[in-house]
Structures are given as C-alpha cells and as structure tokens.
Amino acid sequence: MFDRRLLANFDWVLFLNSLLVSLMGVAAIYSASKGYASGTQYWLRQLYWIGVALAAGFLVLLVDMRAIGRWAYLFHGAVIVLLLLVLRHGAGSQVDRWFMVGGVALQPSEFAKFSTVLAVAFYFRDNRRVGNLGWRDLLVPLGLIGAPFVLIVQQPDLGTAMLLALLSVPIMVLAGVRLKLLGILAVLAVLTVALLVASFKLGYYRVDDEVVKTLQGEDVPPVLVEQARSVKGQRFWTATSLRARLTQRVAVDAGDPFLETVEEAAFRPLISFLLRPYQQRRLVTFVNPDADPLGAGYHVIQSKVAIGSGQILGKGFGQSTQGSLNFLPARHTDFIFSIFAEEWGFAGAIVLIGLYLALILRGLSIILQTRDRFSAFLTLGIVSIIALQVIVNVGMAVGLLPVVGVPLPFFSYGGSSMISMTIGMAMLLNIRMRRFLWG
C-alpha cells in the first residue's frame, strides 16, 4: 500500500531547482550549437536525455535507499568492470572514455563518481567505528576511491579522476579522521601540486632515444632529428617554449605534423608517466595561456573573451559571437558557461550560480534531517560531486583552473552526465522522502 507520507515529504524545491537548471541548459545548448556546420540538434538530444534521466530517477525513487545500499558494492564493482573494458574497447579522440552502443555514447566514469560515494557510504554504515580514524581505518574507503581513480587516470580523464580524489576530503572529515592525519595528507597534496607545477615550469625534458632512431627511418626532416638530439637534457621553462625553440631554429610551420611528432613523441617531461602530451600542454597554458594563443591556450583565451564581452546584462539570447562565429570550441559541453555568460552577462551568471548554491545548500540540509550514517555519508558525497563540478567547470571557464573537461551539472550537453546527475539527485530525494522511516 502506498504511504502518503512519502509524497508529503517529497522535496519539490530541490527537484524543481535541478529541473530548472536542466531546461536553462537546453536553451543554452540550442544557442551555443547554432553555428555548428553539422547541423546536429544537440538541444533536442538533450531533451531526450532529460526524459531518460527522469525515468531513471523515478525508478530510483520507488526503491528504499537502504535496499539500494545493500547492493552498493555490486554496483561499484560493475562500474569498475566497465572502466576496465572501456580501456580496451572504448572510443574517443586521444582517449578511451566511452562505449558506442547503437550510436549512443556511454561514459562509465560519470557513473563511477556516484557508485563510489554509494560504496563508501555503505562501508561507513557497516563499519561501526566513526571518529578518531587512523591509516588502517581508511584503507577500505581509500581503496574504494582509488580503484576507479587509477582506471580513470589511464583513460585518461584527469578531470573526473581529480574529482574522485577531492571527494575523499569531505568524506574523511565527516568520518572523523584524526586532525594529525588530515594535516599530513594536506601537506602531501600541497607538495604534489608544487612538484607538478615545478616540473612544467622549471623541469628538465628528456629525449627518447628510441623514438629519435625511429624518426630517422621515417620521412621526417633530418634537421628536426638533429634538433631533437641537440637539446637533450636542456632545461625548458614550459613545453610551449620548447615548441617556440623548435619553430624559431627550424623553418617548420607550427602546425606541421613533423613538429607534432617530435614534440609529442621524442620529448618527454619527467612526469610523462602520469600525463599525456595534450594534458601537459593544458597545464602549461594554465600558467600562461598567451604563450600559445592559437594552440593549447586558445580555449581559455576565447572563453575569457566570451565572458568579458557579456559585461553586466549580456548580448541577449542567441547573440553570442563566440558561438555563432565558431570562435569557441566545445561550447555546448565544457565551455557552455562561457556562452551563457556572454549572452546573459554578469547578472545571468550570478543567477545561475545562485541556483547551484541554493541546490547545494538544500542538499546539505538533508544531512541535518537524516537519522542514519549511510544517508549522511551518501548525501554529503552527492552534494560534494555537484559542488566540485560547478567550481571546476566555472573555474576553468574563467581561467582560474586548468582545462580538465568537467561538465557543468545538469547544464552541459551529455547523456551520461545528465543521467548520472539525475540518479544522484533522485538518491537525495529518496533519502529525504523516507527519513521518517529510518531510526
């Protein structure tokens, strides 16, 4: 028999907030994709994805979250298997991030974020010890986070992997990790970032001798091979300055494939085991995007131009020059915020960010209403995913963070993102609907 209290406790404010952001995203996608030569109606596809996502969310609402929690490890294991399979059978340009199923792209990493918080939340439900936790107490939750993290790095998808790493922070704080241990982890994180920046700004680049030998046997200008040998072991400020040295000393166009071969294959920074060449260039241009304005820094420069040209009230719906004239790439996905800010200005951007802030605060309020640890950890994890993605996406659009390809929740085009985000939202609504049933 249907319990009327479930409907009475449904959070319509939270639901309508996320739905409003989704519909605003459809309008922004329509405007941003008008200039595409392909003529693909991304806005219409996004409407379809919203419909599918709402259906999936409705199914989640029908099942008690405690029952879903009992399957947490199985769900997480299934996503990890998908992450393993996508490395071998995935599709993408320079990356292996998704499966093509009947012409539809399925990206497992989007679901990994939510399966991870579900598994970690269930672990702390089963684990009766919370508070004053040490290294040994964190081995299992860090393992649950670390497994998808390693696989996502290999795709490579640095943005999602970074989100998983950051997710561990609020979860460990809620779990009651010792302050001394948190301090040690914070110091290690700062040192890691510092070494990463130093390796790009002051680090040595080495030449792969085997690649140089291979280049000699191919149709590569001998002068490029000699150039590669002559700079072995020299220090470079950035990979972009390396490109500048090659183009200045050798008469080769900056877009010449031979130059790309030497730059991406022969030269390896000392941290090349972690980051692919295009990721290295993204971090380099984060430090100085103007060093390569027509290459790796192009996205960030055009994004800031779009946001700045919107001024206070914007140019109006459909009047984005960065979109209609095809200046800004990925404008319906990663840089959708830039187009929105150009058309609606600072005022529109504040309204959108305000909606996200209201959604996040409303989600956090559920923690105060829950009566069990599983719900508290799961709520914090889901809200943290939304908050972190908003911060990272807006941060990279305005040039405060590196470009890592993180979508704006409920707003950027993408079926996997929309479905996973809606399922996460349905989990929050489920917890709030049934909070009076759990002791």
Q: pLDDT digits over 110-138, tens only?
A: 899 999 999 998 888 766 566 677 777 78
Measured CA to CA, the distance from residue 333 to residue 403 in angstroms comes to: 12
> 328 versus 261: which is more confidently predicted?
328
Give the least confident one: 18-22, 65-69, 96-100, 320-324. 96-100
Residue 210 is predicted with a pLDDT of 60
Please state, as a whole number, how many other Cβ atoms lie within 10 Å of the Cβ of residue 106.
Answer: 18
Is the pLDDT confidence value at 372 over 50?
Answer: yes
Please tell me the pTM assigned to this model.
Answer: 0.80
Q: What is the DSSP letter of 157?
A: -
Q: What percent of the chain has pLDDT over 70?
A: 68
Is the pLDDT confidence value at 226 over 60?
Answer: yes
User: And the tokens for 284?
Assistant: 């380099």
Residue 93 is predicted with a pLDDT of 47
Write the pLDDT tens digit of every residue in 380-431. Answer: 999 999 999 999 999 988 888 877 778 999 999 988 899 999 999 999 999 9
Q: What percent of the chain has pLDDT over 90?
A: 28
Residue 325 is predicted with a pLDDT of 67
Residue 178 is predicted with a pLDDT of 79
User: And the tokens for 258?
Assistant: 């031979």
Nearest alpha-carbon partner for 399 in 306, 314, 312, 323:
306
pLDDT class of 244 with cuts at 50, 70, 90: very low
Number of H helices and number of E strands within the chain?
Answer: 19, 4
Q: What is the mean pLDDT of residues 313-324?
A: 81
User: And the tokens for 171?
Assistant: 């979860």
Do residues 207 and 234 make contact, with C-beta atoms less than 8 angstroms apart? no
pLDDT class of 224 with cuts at 50, 70, 90: low
Q: How big is the chain by its Cα radius of gyration, in Å?
A: 24
pLDDT class of 276 with cuts at 50, 70, 90: low
Q: Which residues contact 135 (CB under 8 A, 6 or more apart)?
A: 181
Nearest alpha-carbon partner for 340 in 323, 326, 362:
323
Is the pLDDT confidence value at 206 over 70?
Answer: no
